[in-house]
Chains A and B, each alone.
Chain A
Amino acid sequence: MPGKHLDEDQLCARCGDNVSVLTVRSEPLCRDCFLRYVHTKVIKRMESFRVRNAASDRPRKVLVPVSFGVSSVSLLHILDHHLKTQLAKTGRTGFDIVVAFVDSSAIETSPDPELRASLRDRYINHECQLLPLASIFDTDAGSTILGEYIPNMDSVEPSNPEEKLAALINSLDSATARADVQSTLRTRLLVQHAKSMDCEAILWGDSTTRLAEKTLSETAKGRGFSLPWVTGDGDSPLGITYHFPMRDLLKKELVSYAAMTDPPLTELIHSRVVTQSSTSSKNTTIDELMAQYFDSVEENFPSIVSNVVRTAGKLSTPSISGSPCGLCGNLAQPGRFGIEGWGGTQQKDSSTSNTSNLCYGCTRSLPKS
């Protein structure tokens, strides 16, 4: 278990010279070897972005969204280090990074703006942009969502996008629905931004643990069909390529990593406080339940975490024949609202009046209106 300190004289299993500082997947490692272990796991997933694959005239660009969680901050740090190494070795880099933060302060407590300033200062070489979540409504996808799914929007002055966002979120009937729609909007905004910045891909920071959480979470939200897209490397139905370079590292390993870099990344990380009471109340979200579940699974059955991700990885990508869901943009058969979505009732047998251009999962979150 990373972070667990061992007998002082146990030597690192890799270099054999230094005293180990933690045990990773049953190997005692010293600090240097552990940092190298983390970097190698990430860089191995970045093979296609080697210097020799880059055209000399036009740099390849990738978007790195930073949420100020341990994974995305670590990813940025590792990629920054990787680019410096490429530059030192070959005089150029395989790709350029565009960093993006999404500001959702209109609807929730957000990371301190000072975190953004510190992060910008530390990774000064990369373009950084702050995107207000409400700016999703300036995009085509956003205006569709706005037009079709926000109830009583006529009564809200159209001038203020933040108010529109708040109206949309407040119209939802549960914490799970609010969190789900919010994260969907965030994803769509980031994709939109990546395209407008000419990025060919988005590099998401999800660790193995996070991908496992997402797999069960999306399953529980009725979006099992979308797992190959939202947890796998490759083309997303939103028209951009996704990569998950951190997929081979556990969250606890990244927590250790962030504390061991010099200087530590810890000061750049915004830790969300999940209180015990909130996990037992009706206002808990499905995502929070899964995070809590995998906290204990990672502790007691670490192999299960990678099992889940492996299972999701074995699913074949759905055939691209459905129509895009009006909210999440995944290709799917249209869902039906409420109890009719389950095919369990004969009260209003198979009426088509109740269908929508939303996928099954999104009909669970957006109000029927």
Chain B
Amino acid sequence: MPPPPCALCTTNRAAIVRPKDHSKLCKSCFITVFETEIHHTITSNNLFHRGERIAIGASGGKDSTVLASVLKTLNERYDYGVELTLLSIDEGIKGYRDDSLETVKRNATQYSMPLTILGYAELYGWTMDQVVSQVGKKGNCTYCGVFRRQALDRGAARLGIQHVVTGHNADDVAETVLMNLLRADLPRLSRTTSIITSTPSTSDTTNIQRSKPLKYAYEKEIVLYAHHKGLDYFSTECIYSPEAFRGSARALIKNLERVRPSAILDIVRSGEDMAALCGPAPAHAADDGGGGCGRTESSDIGGAVAPGLEVEITSATVQKRGKKGGVAYVAPRQGKGQVMGKCEVCGYLSSQRVCKACVLLEGLRKGRARRGVEIEGGEGG
């Protein structure tokens, strides 16, 4: 039996069963629909404004590669008038980033976009390999997540760019919704479901805005899109794999998707609705996942919460932004009456005296000093 005609154009033969709703589409209609939905996400949320410079957080993985490709296409097709640039972070994981950064470099050529690569070594004095040799493989994702988050913001600030887009997809957001329910972290649930967040940067005058144009795109469709467009991406998972518990949430989502294809977006929708029931948005720990191992912030799901860095922009302020053309900023507040201030060490916005990254760095330095002493002592005896 020949394949049925495409449900949209009714002319071509269907070649793809769309993961989102199982509709049968031809290749070109799938690509159009996929791009159009992202365009809709961008326009209905007023994500961009003309003349804006935007840094794409690029890991070389499928999500950020598809994001770069789609944004380039849409920017040209719909004349957004934005200036796109690629921003990559080199965590310093041998054999992981080496290859993926090569991919990003090729992407830069393929999409004719400028590329900036910033290393953890350069920003923090530690590569992830050095961190792992210090703290072990358990819990290193905490470091990677905290460092990476600041790294993108610092990188953008260096480039004088105020807006970073990341490749978080619907599966990531759904996973975060479930994870935050499992760890009883309502404030973070509220923030991670929002499509735009604002991250105060190291400078007093600039805030870095973060947004997720792929928030409603399925991981499976991203893979299909990359495949059918013949995109060049790097597909190795981080070698320092995340905690088992997050894996179980991911597996649950895959099972849910199998039972009901809409479940991923239904979870995202629930997350958005629940965010509206969380009261005013406090500033808090940022863990909106991200390509590769950056998904994991804390392996302590029992409730330990890292001090926060990002501030949610509510829909009201988003609208304000749309009207005035500037970036609105919600005054940072902390849950228990704490006031957001600046980190005494690095100046990054923090609810604590010293920000999370600097606390981790201090721990690493002490660990290195202590270990150094032990080794010397051992050699001496």
Q: Which residues in A have their C-beta under 8 angstroms from that of B103?
A: none
User: Cβ of B245 < 8 Å from any Cβ of A?
Assistant: yes
Number of residues on chain B facing chain A (CB within 8 A): 46
Cβ-closest chain A residue relative to B260: A176
B184, B189, B302 interface centre (most CB from chain A within 10 Å): B184
A286-B256, A318-B277 known; A346+B36 contact, CB < 8 A:
yes
Q: Which residues in B have their C-beta under 8 angstroms from that of A301?
A: 245, 301
A-contact bits for B240-275, CB 8 A (1 contact / 0 none): 000001001000100110111011011101111110
Cβ-closest chain B residue relative to A173: B260
B369 to chain A: closest CB distance in Å?
35
User: Cβ of B104 < 8 Å from any Cβ of A?
Assistant: no
Q: Which residues in B have their C-beta under 8 angstroms from that of A215?
A: 181
User: Cβ of A16 < 8 Å from any Cβ of B?
Assistant: no
User: Cβ of B39 < 8 Å from any Cβ of A?
Assistant: yes
The residue that A315 contacts in the complex, of B263, B266, B274, with Cβ under 8 A, is B274
Q: Which residues in B have their C-beta under 8 angstroms from that of A222?
A: 262, 266-267, 269-270
The residue that B181 contacts in the complex, of A219, A317, A341, with Cβ under 8 A, is A219
User: Cβ of B180 < 8 Å from any Cβ of A?
Assistant: yes
Question: Are A293's CB and B252's CB within 8 A?
Answer: yes
- In whole angstroms, how far apart are the Cα atoms of A304 and B331 in the complex? 32
- In whole angstroms, how far apart are the Cα atoms of A311 and B187 in the complex? 10
B-contact bits for A284-328, CB 8 A (1 contact / 0 none): 111001000100110001011001101110111110000000000
A215-B181, A343-B44, A361-B266 known; A224+B36 contact, CB < 8 A:
no
The residue that A174 contacts in the complex, of B20, B259, B276, with Cβ under 8 A, is B259
Q: Which residues in B have their C-beta under 8 angstroms from that of A220?
A: 256, 260, 263, 266-267, 270
Cβ-closest chain A residue relative to B8: A347
Question: Are A289's CB and B269's CB within 8 A?
Answer: no
Q: Which residues in A have their C-beta under 8 angstroms from that of B20?
A: 339
A222-B269, A224-B271, A343-B44 known; A176+B259 contact, CB < 8 A:
yes
- In whole angstroms, how far apart are the Cα atoms of A303 and B182 in the complex? 9
Question: Are A219's CB and B270's CB within 8 A?
Answer: yes
User: Cβ of A230 < 8 Å from any Cβ of B?
Assistant: no
Cβ-closest chain B residue relative to A314: B186
Question: Are A344's CB and B40's CB within 8 A?
Answer: yes
Q: Which residues in A have their C-beta under 8 angstroms from that of B262?
A: 222, 342, 364
User: Cβ of A150 < 8 Å from any Cβ of B?
Assistant: no
Q: List 22 A-B contacts (CB under 8 A).
A: A174-B260, A175-B259, A215-B181, A216-B252, A219-B178, A219-B274, A220-B256, A220-B263, A221-B263, A225-B270, A285-B259, A286-B259, A289-B256, A311-B181, A311-B189, A315-B274, A316-B277, A318-B276, A342-B216, A343-B216, A346-B36, A347-B33
